[in-house]
Amino acid sequence: MHTQRRNLSALSPRVGLSALAVTGLLATAACGTESGSGDSGGKDPGASSVGTRQDTGLTGTQWNVDSVTAKGKTQDAPAGAHVEFGKDGKVGGNYGCNHFGATAEIEGDTITIGDDTVKTEMACTADGTMGFESKLGEAMSDSTIKAEVNGDKLTLTTEDGYTVKLTAEKQADLYGTKWNVTGTVKADAKGDTKGGSAVALASEAEGKVHLTFDEKGTVAGQLGCNKVTAKATVGDGIITLGTPGTTRKMCSDSLMDTERSLLKLFGGTVKYTLKGSNLTLTSENGAGLEAVAAK
């Protein structure tokens, strides 16, 4: 039987952990990571180190979730769902909407996940996302799991009949990739993202917000309502974004709110973290975003 997962936040359904905690929930080795910030990983406040007795090829890889099968029914994973096992005795990732972290002990092909799972508290509205999250969360919380690695494929089977299919992540390229924005960062009252919260996109904006960087030094995309272009100079873990040029359409309040939040990233320098198919941008003025590489 699964114990009830412990949450770190009692905020509204669309607001979760602080932005710093969200990016730190993976708490695993930063294999294949580009980052301009040393505080983006390994700081999961809710999971103590247990240790990995044997490295079976599970650790140091981001495993993208393909599907979960429960009670004979298989559900495909939404974009961004992934799991990562660390060599420090932790597991973290994303259920499809919310980030999570927990302790995990690996011995041979057996993984024991602790009952101390923590997760963010966003509510996503895309069809089936929260239902999938519930199934994956049940499989990855307070569980004993058998793991089978076959090349770039991983199968996790729990004692109570859940089967999770995963594929090893290939590092996405910052340039030329369509980055689908999945959430923004809301600063605290002092304008600090470290004390702020991750915010899921409004339902109307889901699937409509994206950015693409090119090696010529520009970024272009869609902010939910209007198209945007700007200069984008990439340095060592930072991107300097120029003044944005946009189209001039007016849309619903929710789309315009999303657009205004994202426009705060422009006209200054942002730190970026690129890991697998996940991109995070954070600025000093309280703005930020999370994005996933389009498949």
Mapped to the 3 state alphabet, what secondary structure does 146-167 carry?
EEEEECCEEEEEECCCCEEEEE
Mean pLDDT of 202-218: 93
**Which pLDDT belongs to residue 114?**
93
Q: What type of residue sits at position 273?
A: T
Structure letter (DSSP) for residue 87: T
The pLDDT tens digits for 249-290 are 999 999 999 999 999 999 999 999 998 888 999 998 778 999
- Which pLDDT band, with edges at 50, 70 and 90, does 121 fall under? confident
Please indicate whether residue 87 or residue 43 has the higher confidence score (pLDDT). Answer: 87
Q: What is the pLDDT of residue 161?
A: 93
Note the pLDDT of residue 55. 46
Q: What is the mean pLDDT of residues 223-244?
A: 96
Q: Is the pLDDT of residue 155 over 90?
A: yes
Structure tokens at 199: 């915010």
CA dist 153 and 167 (Å) reads 5
Q: Where are the alpha helices (DSSP H) in the chain?
A: 19-24, 129-139, 253-263
* pLDDT value, residue 216: 96
Whole-number pLDDT of residue 186: 66
Per-position DSSP letters for 4-73, written without gaps between them: PPPPS--S-TTEEEEHHHHHHTT-S--TTEEES-TTSSS--TT------S---S-BT-EEEEEEEEETTE
- The pLDDT assigned to 52 comes to 40
Ramachandran assignment for 96, one of left (phi > 0), alpha (psi -120 to 50 degrees), beta (any other) = left
Please tell me the predicted confidence (pLDDT) of residue 247.
97
pLDDT at 31 over 80: no
Query: What's the pLDDT at 263?
Result: 95
Place of tokens 């991107």: 239
* Res 219 pLDDT > 70: yes
* Most distant CA pair in the chain, distance: 58
- Average pLDDT, integer, range 110-121: 90
Please give the Cα distance from 218 to 229 (Å, whole number): 7
Flag whether pLDDT at 295 surpasses 70: yes
